[in-house]
Structure 1
């Protein structure tokens, strides 16, 4: 038995740079993507934004999974992601790095085995660990008091 999974989507062009994304084999509603002006009309997120969303969402779910493994309820989680786009040595725009800040709704001191959860959650994240093979991803976790309780940047 293989652990391999297949993710299938179909893109259909609906405008100059706008696409309808269908998540094949699911009941997930279609998504509209588009480029920023002047190419597109910003009718939906562009690929750079979707990459930032994918990394942030995966890290958020992974952190919740790691904390809940120890029967924790970290409160409402708020995540912010910033993808930096700049030109490479050939003058082409590339995503050079992604920074993700996760804000717990509770103080880390109120969480059981928080240190172990913080030490392992990034390894659970399929997207981040895949993206890191080509792009730097820095991750910080703050607790409700605003204290940094995890920092992969160091």
Structure 2
């Protein structure tokens, strides 16, 4: 794939810390997100849980892709992710670590070319590869008329933000 793709989502606040998420360009219904108490009501996963979900799901799908690439027809794969949420040196909450366990339903000996699968499947994972390198995040704040009132261009790991 040589062409860049864009994925869009839209959020609308419906409560204190609760948002409805729409996955634009798809037939997927809305997803509720919320912070757990005491900030929110826990009506859905919070962003840290969604990040862990994205990493685990992408790794599981990448493992499935790699297994099939080498002629396997694996039984369903399961995944479990554990995100550590801790304060950084500036005392801000961050996700410094995500641990993912991928569970095969098939015996390793029954899978063709498992050594090659395991050597390369993580390279197929868009989300994990992006998170590991650091992701540029550009942020704009707009007023009701659509005027930009704040703009911040973020660089990936190892770069300072430019404003």
Which of structures 1 and 2 has the bigger CA Rg? 2
Counterpart for residue 107 of structure 1 = 107
Q: Following the alignment from structure 1 to structure 2, what is the Cα–Cα distance between the partners of residues 73 and 51?
A: 28
Q: Following the alignment from structure 1 to structure 2, what is the Cα–Cα distance between the partners of residues 25 and 7?
A: 8
Deviations 1:98-129 (CA, angstroms, capped at 9, x unpaired):
00000100111111111001100000000000
Q: Following the alignment from structure 2 to structure 1, what is the Cα–Cα distance between the partners of residues 8 and 134?
A: 22
What stretches of structure 1 of length at least 5 have no aligned partner?
Answer: 136-154
Give the TM-score normalised by structure 1.
0.84
The 5 Å alignment of 1:5-154 reads 5-134=5-134
RMSD of aligned Cα (Å):
1.4
Secondary structure of the 2:73 match is coil
CA gap of 1:44–1:62, structure 2 versus 1, over 3 A, is same
Q: Count how many residue pairs are aligned between Structure 1 and Structure 2.
A: 135
Q: CA deviation at 1:2?
A: 5.0
Task: Tell which has more relative contact order, 1 or 2 (C-alpha 8 A, sep 6+).
Answer: 1
What stretches of structure 2 of length at least 5 have no aligned partner?
Answer: 136-163
Q: CA deviation at 1:3?
A: 1.4
Give the TM-score normalised by structure 2.
0.80
Q: Following the alignment from structure 1 to structure 2, what is the Cα–Cα distance between the partners of residues 26 and 35?
A: 25
Deviations 1:59-95 (CA, angstroms, capped at 9, x unpaired):
0000000000111122221110000000111111100
